[in-house]
Amino acid sequence: MSAKSHATKSKSVKPSQPVKPVESIEPAVTASATASDDGIFSARFDRHRDELESLFRMLYGESAELNEFERAMADAYADRPADLKALDIAREQDPQWYKRGDMFGMTMYTDLFAGDLKKLAGKIDYLKEQKLTYLHLMPLLQMPHPDNDGGYAIEDFDAVDPRIGTNEDLAALTKKLREAGISLCLDFVMNHTASSHRWAKAAEAGDPKYQDYYFCYDDRTVPDQYDAQVPQVFPNTAPGNFTYNEKMGKWVMTQFYPFQWDLNYRNPKVFVAMMSSVLHLANLGVEVFRLDAVPYIWKQLGTNCRNLPQVHTIVRMMRMMLEIVCPAVVLKGEVVMSPKELAAYFGTPERPECHMLYNVSIMVNLWSALANGDTRLLKAQIDKLDALPENCWFVNYLRCHDDIGWGLDEDEEVRLAIDPLKHKEFLYHFYEGAEPGSWAMGELYNYDEASKDARSCGTTASLCGVEKAIITHDKPAYEKAIGRDLLMHRAMAFLRGFPMLNCGDEIGQLNGWEYKEDPDRVEDSRNLHRSPFDWNKADERHTEGTLQSRLWEGMEGLREMRSDPCFAPDAWVTTWDTHDDGVLAVVRKQGERTIVGLFNFADRDATATMDSTVDATLPAEPVALTPYEYKVIVTHE
């Protein structure tokens, strides 16, 4: 396997300031002794102490770092602002707050939307106009420039990147968002640091203590043993799992990119330091942490280093840590795995882990159904997720900062007589506009000639056909494209979980082809859907008949739909057979009330016929739908 290149472009960033050291060990001090004496922390800590300490020792033995971990929790509680402590108490009394039907989210890059954190704070009225309750800002902690993988290479987990603002700006923003009823979500990149992080620099300089923060080897013996079992994350753009560092004279594990060094969570110092950073950010007002690449964080020779039991031990300890220090804060896992792997990341009702997960598989299946007008794979995937335990909750979305990876259920495809490889090739060629009859405009990402694997990039509007219709001045195609866009959003929002928009989708923002003129961005086609927010286009949302107005009103309708009692956290949700593969039917029931969502993914007229049962009152007569039409029907009250 060829090694990754060590060379990177020169960087001009403010040096990282050392975080509060956690390595020194002092005589044992009980956690409650250093926290404020209001009794709340002690009571929370006592509820979790036995399990937390047992799990810590399971991973790390009788390490003195346990004392440091407990001290960090106590100090974080003592430092926690009073208004956040009040929010903690309110959330403890309303533990399902993030499952309510009025939850409505958006994800964005701070710089692309507003420039920096101060300017974003001045745009909160725009967010309130959409009745947002949840805002996910892409990584904004200190990072190298330009090689930072969209912010997922972090130099300092305790400091905002100077180009975006300061820690004080972040705290001021979160306070304004809370006043507006909006919870802030930030990524916590657990798997790796930037190669320019102070730990990596110390390791590179030869410090064995910090080399043990990573996976560093003198020769290829151990790396080759890992490579025999561990898949490559980016075989085309960043092949291999190790990079040779000439200054250190060692091979270092870099599963993602050469400038992202994988952290060694077998070292308790790493765990304690990273947890301290989580608590620091929570005290700045972060209410949701998206755990990036969490299935990868524990490495063990002889395995594929994915979804190992120790990962769940760490996430469980994180969950307890938050419930002790800041129970207003929730965890959202990024788990790009098959449905059978997902339930484990929620833990159990008695020993929970993540509060919610990204619904990656449904996102992929929605786009698959739209391309071929066939909802069978989508329905099967929804059924598998609906069969998960009640504690499993999802954030549903169509587009985000990342590509669309075509990870469909190959066993189900075979059962339906669909060739998995041919179907995947069809999908990524369709969404780059290369298939006959395609309406989409997008680009491939990470195409691999050997495996014929590729992913897709583009905004929702452009992938639904809006951009092509505008360019070709095709009015009928334009109307269908808007219909597809609204259908996809409405179907996504009808499923179990809560919806999250990608910033710009509410006004139909098109692809940003100008990225090809930027030498720092041209190599990554994901920048096609990472373009500056078009405020001039946003101003047209109040002009009747414009694309922006029609989609804006569509999102208002989506929120009105979700105000129905059948979107309560404990509502019963299931799919239903329509006797037409082009139409997806989802039934929601709460008490005596039943509603049915019908979504025609086919570019043809369709008829949904639903067989009635004792369990739910369904439409007695067939329901006709035009191409890409959706209907929500109240069938029983």
What residue segments make up the domains of the chain, in order of their start? 35-189+272-358, 198-262, 572-635
Report whether pLDDT(273) > 90.
yes
pLDDT for residue 616: 54
Count of alpha carbons within 13 Å of 153, Cβ hemisphere only?
22
Beta strands in 515-582 (DSSP E): 572-576
Report whether pLDDT(135) > 60.
yes
d(C-alpha 617, C-alpha 612), whole Å:
6
What does the pLDDT average to over 567-582? 96
Question: In whole angstroms, how far apart are CA 217 and each of 250, 429, 502?
Answer: 5, 41, 41
What does the pLDDT average to over 293-303? 95
pLDDT for residue 177: 98
Q: Are 261 and 254 in contact (CB under 8 A)?
A: yes
% of residues, the chain, pLDDT over 90: 86
Report whether pLDDT(19) > 50.
no
Block residue for tokens 């270092």 = 252
% of residues, the chain, pLDDT over 70: 94
Give the total residue count for the chain. Answer: 637
Is residue 161 flagged as an active site residue? Answer: no
Residue 25 pLDDT class (50, 70, 90 cuts): very low
d(C-alpha 540, C-alpha 372), whole Å:
33
Report whether pLDDT(1) > 50.
no
d(C-alpha 349, C-alpha 336), whole Å:
22
pLDDT for residue 464: 98
Strands 583-590 and 572-576, bridge-based pairing:
antiparallel
Round the CA-based radius of gyration of the chain to a whole number and report it: 25
Average pLDDT, the chain: 92
pLDDT for residue 337: 74
Query: Would you say the CATH fold of 198-262 matches that of 35-189+272-358?
Result: no
What does the pLDDT average to over 483-497? 98
Looking at per-residue pLDDT, the higher value among 166 and 618 belongs to 166
Range with the largest mean pLDDT of 23-32, 36-45, 293-302: 293-302
Note the CATH number of domain 572-635: 2.60.40.1180
Geometric angle at alpha carbon 634, from 589 and 611, rounded to 5°:
75
Q: Concatenated DSSP letters for 276-303?
A: HHHHHHHHTT--EEEEETGGGS---TTS
Residue 109 three-state SS: coil
Give the residue among 630, 632, 631, 603 at the shortest CA–CA distance from 487.
Answer: 630
pLDDT for residue 635: 86
pLDDT for residue 22: 38
d(C-alpha 245, C-alpha 258), whole Å:
9
State how far Cα 514 lies from the chain centre.
26
pLDDT for residue 443: 98
- Residue ranges of alpha helices (H) inside 298-419 are 309-325, 339-342, 360-372, 376-386, 410-415
- Among candidate residues 88, 111, 158, 292, the one labeled active-site is 292
d(C-alpha 456, C-alpha 12), whole Å:
32
Q: Other C-beta atoms within 10 Å of 202: how many? A: 15
- Among candidate residues 334, 353, 467, 581, the one labeled active-site is 334
What does the pLDDT average to over 212-221? 98
d(C-alpha 279, C-alpha 134), whole Å:
20
pLDDT for residue 35: 53
Classify domain 35-189+272-358 by CATH architecture: Alpha-Beta Barrel (3.20)
For 250-262, letters b (16+ CB in 10 Å) and e give: bbbbbbbbbbbbb
What does the pLDDT average to over 387-402? 92
What does the pLDDT average to over 207-211? 98
pLDDT for residue 36: 55
pTM (two decimals)? 0.92
Give the CATH class of 198-262: alpha beta
What does the pLDDT average to over 476-495? 98
Is residue 23 flagged as an active site residue? Answer: no
What does the pLDDT average to over 463-472? 98
Report whether pLDDT(349) > 50.
yes
d(C-alpha 108, C-alpha 507), whole Å:
14
